[in-house]
Amino acid sequence: MRLIRLAYLSMLVLLSSAGAAAQELPTDETAPLVLVRIIPVPGVVGRFDHMAVDNSGGRVFAAIYGNDSVEVIDTARGVRIRSIQEGFTKPQMVTYLPDMDRIVVSSEGDGSCKVFDANTYKLLDTVKYSDDADQLRYDPSAKRVYVGYGDGDESAIGVFDATSNKKIGEDFKLGAHPESFQLEEKGPKIFVNLASISQIAVIDRNARKIDRWKLQGAGTNFPMALDELHRRLFVAARKPARLLVLDMDTGKEIASLPGAIDTDDMSWDPDRKRIYVTSGEGYIFVYQQIDADRYQRIGKVPTAIGARTSAYTGQVGKHNSFYLAVPARADRGAELWVYETRD
Amino acid sequence: MKTPFGLSLVALFGLALTGCQGHQGTAPTASQPAAEAAPPMILTATVPLEGVKGRFDHFASGKGKVFLSGLGNNSVEIIDLFQGARAHEITGIPNPQGVAFSPEANKLFVASEKGKVYIYDGESYKQLATVDFDGGADNLRYDAATKRVYVGCGDNEKNSAIATIDAMTNKRTDEEFKLGGEPESFQLEKNGPNIYVNVPDLKVIKVLNRQTKQITQWPVTNLQNFPMSLDESNHRVFVGTREPATVSVFDTATGKMVASLPTVQDTDDLYYSAEKKRVFVPGREGAIWVYQQNDPDHYTLISKIPTVVGAGTAGYFGRQGKGFDRFYLAVSATSTSSAEVRIYTVQDSTPPGTPSN
């Protein structure tokens, strides 16, 4: 009998640790993220790629790579309000330009960046890159959009002016496809993950100089986040799965912690001094920054298999909402899960 | 949430029992999985296949797609790897089994149990031709060097053979090897002339020399040898047997069995990763068993990954796209959930320089 009881208990443990189940388990009162809303995004098939958040308007824009669409979700009302289908071929990212109320959508298939009025959703312009336009970042102070594009020798970060939608200057050639990159706000640098060669390129926008840091111990680095206050660069490596903390001035590895598997997005929460990493294995890993050099994983929040992409931009309305894209599964359509961050 | 509870309760219970035996003080045996600190693969995505009924049979890959034969649904499901969604479905193929893709010809080949190989355009999926095979066509392999599709065909002593289709002309060639018994999985050597064929009815592995046309055979002592994979650099053939359930390893130079390990019940696919020195064996019992190749003659069972009862059809094609290393598992519809393909991310064998925290 004891054996059977033990077996039963072990089974319960196994079941409760199965990631995707947890959404219907009782809330863990100490969890750093609490699921507060599930917004259906009906009719959307395939993989979600990266999202943008309109903080003042309470909208989330999601590039649906597998559906050739951009879905616009009104987070206050909890409904999808628009599906933009303007000839995208494998759209990979949306970025929101708050000062101009525009969105830019990058596509892998034709290397285009399509610029839309975010009020009327009318296509305003197209900025064309050679191939595989992927990550986008907006620098509101200079009104410039940075675009990671291309494969192999073609790979670069390009720049275009957000008012004229014209390319500016020469592109920063990288030699390997740029994955996530971050613009330094209080300095001239751009940090770029070169996942295929496990390097970080450090671009000086003023001096037009590019340094390279070779990652040690872990690579295939896709997501990235920046903590400029403490001069720290966070990178989620996939092989092996690690969170790496680097000194953003020297490239020195400050910390390395076990990471989530199959990560595609990470966010830095400067208010709570936390890092959120979302992964295809169905967890959000949450790390606490104790001080600039010390980090601790404080949560492993079960989500859903394949929920790799997410966005967090701090306070939206009265909420500190963290958005997670959950692709369609058997018998259940695609959804946007909304979490509240919590102390 | 159906997904996790759809996991085989039986398999979970089995694992739970294994854990308990440990608590009871039972010494671990060689066949028990080692510490699961680094699972060899992790489920990271699913692709729903709504409306697909019945059992799946085999996978193939090419041009950023995976092709999956829906044996019970008379269809081939085409999944775009990067979009993570079904891109197309070819219907009206009676009991499709093996699938193969020729990048050179840009064609998809589908073998039907009912006696034909169907040939489709690799872009539009329009049917281009059919080729008849007496006694049904089962497994297909594509040889890029000769642009030929090898077809395991027949169902009796007389018509059973490995035959060939020229992928460019859609015609049968005169290259054909009579086997005397129905072929199951077979593999083409890339760096040599041989084809290795499981012929469970005759309790042998047949070795076909494509240059000399000579046929030799090795007897098997573990019976019902269905799936097969090759490790050419170490001259090894891996065979999944069902009676008893083993992974049996043969030396291709001598035909001798050099290792045999217990494996999951009811196997129909089996893959070897040369890069990771691992053998992946999915079984309809509801688990994927993973072995580490210590050397060509020694193997250790390192993990039993619970899946779903009936999920015996898998595809593994090594690295693709941006270096993604995925393992595909077909899961049939049940009374409460629709069919899906589960996509696992294959982990490295020995993570370099991993700190222990």
Can you give the pLDDT at residue B350? Answer: 60
Can you give the pLDDT at residue A30? Answer: 78
**Chain B (77-116) residues lying within 8 Å, Cβ to Cβ, of chain A:** 80, 82-86
Can you give the pLDDT at residue A40? Answer: 95
B324 in contact with A at a CB cutoff of 8 Å? no
Tell me whether residues B48 and A330 touch, CB distance under 8 A: yes
Residue of B nearest to A18 (CA): B4
Q: Is the pLDDT reported for residue B352 higher than 60?
A: no
In CATH, what number is assigned to the domain containing residue B83?
A: 2.130.10.10
| Confidence category of residue B335, pLDDT binned at 50, 70, 90 | confident
**Residue B189 lies inside a defined structural domain of this protein:** yes
Q: How far apart, in whole angstroms, are the C-alpha atoms of residue A223 and residue A93?
A: 13
Can you give the pLDDT at residue A118? Answer: 97
Residue of A nearest to B353 (CA): A217
Can you give the pLDDT at residue B98? Answer: 97
Comparing A105-114, A204-213, B24-33, which segment has the lowest mean pLDDT? B24-33
Residues A202-221 have a mean pLDDT of 95
Count of structural domains, chain B:
1
Residues of A in contact with B19 (CB under 8 A): 10
Residues of A in contact with B322 (CB under 8 A): 177, 195-196
Can you give the pLDDT at residue B320? Answer: 76
Tell me the average pLDDT of chain A. 91
Residues A225-252 have a mean pLDDT of 97
**Chain A (186-225) residues lying within 8 Å, Cβ to Cβ, of chain B:** 195-196, 216-218, 220
**Residue B17 lies inside a defined structural domain of this protein:** no
A20 in contact with B at a CB cutoff of 8 Å? yes
Q: How far apart, in whole angstroms, are the C-alpha atoms of residue B257 and residue A259?
A: 41
Can you give the pLDDT at residue A24? Answer: 44
Can you give the pLDDT at residue A342? Answer: 87
Phi, psi torsion values for B82, nearest 5 degrees: -90, -30
In percent, how much of chain B has pLDDT > 70?
87
**Residue B77 lies inside a defined structural domain of this protein:** yes
Name beta bridge partners: B342: B46, B329
Residue of A nearest to B323 (CA): A196
* ipTM for the predicted complex: 0.73
Sheet holding A310-312, edge to edge: A33-40, A335-341, A321-326, A310-312
Q: How far apart, in whole angstroms, are the C-alpha atoms of residue A324 and residue A25?
A: 18
Residues contacting A58, CB < 8 A, separation 6+: A74, A75, A76, A316, A317
Disruptive mutation site among A10, A256, A285 for chain B (greatest number of B CBs within 10 Å): A10
**Residue B297 lies inside a defined structural domain of this protein:** yes
Tell me whether residues B45 and A306 touch, CB distance under 8 A: yes
Q: How far apart, in whole angstroms, are the C-alpha atoms of residue A287 and residue A277?
A: 8
Can you give the pLDDT at residue B29? Answer: 40
**Residue B248 lies inside a defined structural domain of this protein:** yes
Can you give the pLDDT at residue B336? Answer: 87
Q: How far apart, in whole angstroms, are the C-alpha atoms of residue B116 and residue B302?
A: 40
Residues A62-74 have a mean pLDDT of 96
A3-36 confidence digits (pLDDT tens): 444 444 444 444 444 444 444 444 567 789 999 8
Comparing A3-12, A309-318, B120-129, B277-286, which segment has the lowest mean pLDDT? A3-12
Q: How far apart, in whole angstroms, are the C-alpha atoms of residue A284 and residue A323?
A: 11
Place of tokens 């809303």: A37
Q: How far apart, in whole angstroms, are the C-alpha atoms of residue A88 and residue A148?
A: 17
**Residue B36 lies inside a defined structural domain of this protein:** no
Domain coverage including residue B324: 53-346
Can you give the pLDDT at residue A28? Answer: 66
Q: How far apart, in whole angstroms, are the C-alpha atoms of residue B112 and residue A308?
A: 38
Q: How far apart, in whole angstroms, are the C-alpha atoms of residue B119 and residue A222?
A: 39
Tell me whether residues A7 and B43 touch, CB distance under 8 A: no
Query: B220 to chain A, minimum CA–CA distance in Å?
Result: 38
Task: Establish how many alpha carbons lie within 13 A of residue B152's alpha carbon, considering only the half-sphere containing its beta carbon.
Answer: 26
Q: Is the pLDDT reported for residue B33 higher than 60?
A: no
**Residue B43 lies inside a defined structural domain of this protein:** no
**Residue B2 lies inside a defined structural domain of this protein:** no
Tell me whether residues B48 and A240 touch, CB distance under 8 A: no
B51-103 confidence digits (pLDDT tens): 999 999 999 999 999 999 999 999 999 999 888 899 999 999 999 999 999 99
Q: Is the pLDDT reported for residue B331 higher than 90?
A: yes
Residues contacting B208, CB < 8 A, separation 6+: B162, B177, B194, B195, B196, B197, B214, B215
Residues of A in contact with B346 (CB under 8 A): none
In percent, how much of chain A has pLDDT > 90?
84
Comparing A9-18, A115-124, B317-326, which segment has the lowest mean pLDDT? A9-18
Tell me whether residues B348 and A46 touch, CB distance under 8 A: no
